[in-house]
Amino acid sequence: MPATIAAITPNPRGAKKIMGSSSSILKPNAKNPNPILRCNPHLLALAPYPPGRPIEEVQREYGLKRVIKLASNENPLGPSPKAVAALKRHARQLHLYPDGNVYYLRQALSRHLAVAPEQLMFGNGSDELIIWLALTYLSPRDTMIVSQYSFVRYQMAAQMVGARFKTVPLKNWRHDLVAMARAVDKSTKAVFLANPENPVGTMVGRKEFERFLKAVPRRVLIVLDQAYYEYVQAPDYFNGIEYIARHPNLVVLRTFSKTYGLAGLRVGYGVAVPEIVKDVDRVRPPFNVNRAGQEAAAAALDDGEFLQRSIAVNEEGRRYLYEQFERLGLEYIPSQTNFVLVRVGRDGCDGAAVAQAMMERGVIVRPMGGFGLKDYVRITIGLARENRLAVRILEKALRDAGRSATHQVQ
């Protein structure tokens, strides 16, 4: 019998007791929802991150044959063919642990980015690096600064380590870097900044970022998350890695999940001075980047053609969605990424109702109520036919959701 079952036995009067202890089992309540063990109190404010719903789950639930997912900013072209070929070649090695030092991918990226191999850190997705950075540098005495509507994993990482976070409002839907720098005080240990931002899709340019770097003291870690770096078309965008030499408190995060099409393999990386990489290594599990991911990412890095195609398909899709949103009279926020935030809530119905109506018709998009944007949905840019279908279904969903909201109001 497993120890956990053996340790808890019903007592003769029916109440469960923990063997070897006279204390009766903990009662669930708002402060302590777990009746078995007391969770660390600083974690109780954390709700699990709600990921986009998987296609298979939506198919099962609504009995749909065809479902498209435009909810998690994945690459609609699929993975790079070179990555798939590398995976097939490597399948017979899966009984072996991965290389904990990520040697080949490290060498390949170091050449690709023109940085020293010691400047690279790898994560099970860049998501994991966000946590390792918070764990490495933040303590319960410290504060993290983030932007309003920011990628929610930053503040969750602060909460995980018991640190506080301060939110700075956006200005015209963009990071207000002047206000963010001004918000830095004695307790500030880190600023986390996605550029472009998710879920808004906007970015700040080179000059603004340079002023921000100068204004923030060196004792403050600056994490510049460039998850959507390759998609950006704006001429004043910049490569954050160029600033590391002069600003050694800067870490740049990137990922293989978006333009390289490898979200399912979970490979992200960070670039920083070697001292920061060594610090993060103190907490990083030895085999956090799996063998298949390392092989596929190295191959994808070499697939320039796939990268260009990903960017071109995205550009075309972005233009199409803008045209259609304008035709439908929907407000949207011009985006530098592979998704667009669009305001669909009206007549008493919100983004969640529209997203639900779309899902029931086989198109999964992301409602944004959890980010404080209840009238909005975020739509990932798909292939041309997926975008056409999404717009058709959006039109129907708007009609349906509008109708049912009118009924409720009456």
Ligand X SMILES: Cc1ncc(COP(=O)(O)O)c(C=O)c1O
Residues that bind ligand X (CB under 6 A): 73, 125-127, 151, 194, 198, 225, 227, 255, 257, 263, 268
User: 3-state SS of 283-335?
Assistant: CCCCCCCCHHHHHHHHHHHCCHHHHHHHHHHHHHHHHHHHHHHHHCCCCEECC
DSSP conformation letters of 56-100: HHHHHHHT-S--EE-SS---TT-S-HHHHHHHHHHGGGTTSPP-T
Cβ at position 155, least distance to ligand X in Å:
13
Could you tell me the smallest distance in angstroms from the CB atom of residue 266 to ligand X? 6
| Tokens describing residue 194 | 């996605």
User: Mapping DSSP to helix (H, G, I), strand (E, B) and coil, where does residue 380 land?
Assistant: strand
Q: Is the dihedral of CA 64, 351, 233, 204 positive or negative?
A: negative
Q: Residue 268: which of 229, 297, 303 has the closest Cα?
A: 297
Cβ of residue 71: shortest distance to ligand X, in angstroms? 11
Contact between 262 and 293 (Cβ < 8 Å): yes
Which residue's CB is nearer to ligand X, number 125 or number 317?
Answer: 125
Rounded least distance, CB 273 to ligand X, Å: 21
CB of 372 to ligand X, least distance (A): 17
Q: How far apart are CA 12 and CA 92, in angstroms?
A: 55
Does residue 199 contact residue 172 with C-beta atoms inside 8 Å?
no
For the bound state, the minimum distance from the C-beta of residue 343 to ligand X, rounded and expressed in Å, comes to 20
Q: Are strands 8-10 and 16-18 parallel, antiparallel or unpaired?
A: antiparallel
Nearer to ligand X by C-beta: 126 or 159? Answer: 126
* Cα–Cα dist 172/187, whole Å: 28
229 vs 306 by CB, closer to ligand X:
229
**Buried/exposed 56-67: b ≥16 CB within 10 Å, e otherwise:** eebeeeeeeeeb
The CB-of-227 to ligand X minimum distance in angstroms stands at 4
Q: Which is nearer to ligand X, 263 or 311 (CB)?
A: 263
Q: Whose CB is nearest to ligand X?
A: 125
Structure tokens given for 60: 């099962």
d(CA 192, CA 212): 13
Distance of alpha carbon 226 from alpha carbon 66, whole angstroms: 33
Tell the smallest beta-carbon distance from residue 180 to ligand X (Å): 16
139-to-43, 272, 278 alpha-carbon distances in Å:
14, 21, 18
CA neighbor of 70 nearest in space, from 46, 52, 94: 52
Question: Is-contact 104 247, C-beta < 8 A?
Answer: no
Q: Give the shortest CB-16-to-ligand X separation in angstroms.
A: 40
Output 87 or 224, the one with its CB closest to ligand X.
Answer: 224
Contacts of 151 (CB under 8 A, 6+ apart): 192, 194, 197, 198, 199, 225
> Least distance in Å: CB of 30 to ligand X?
31
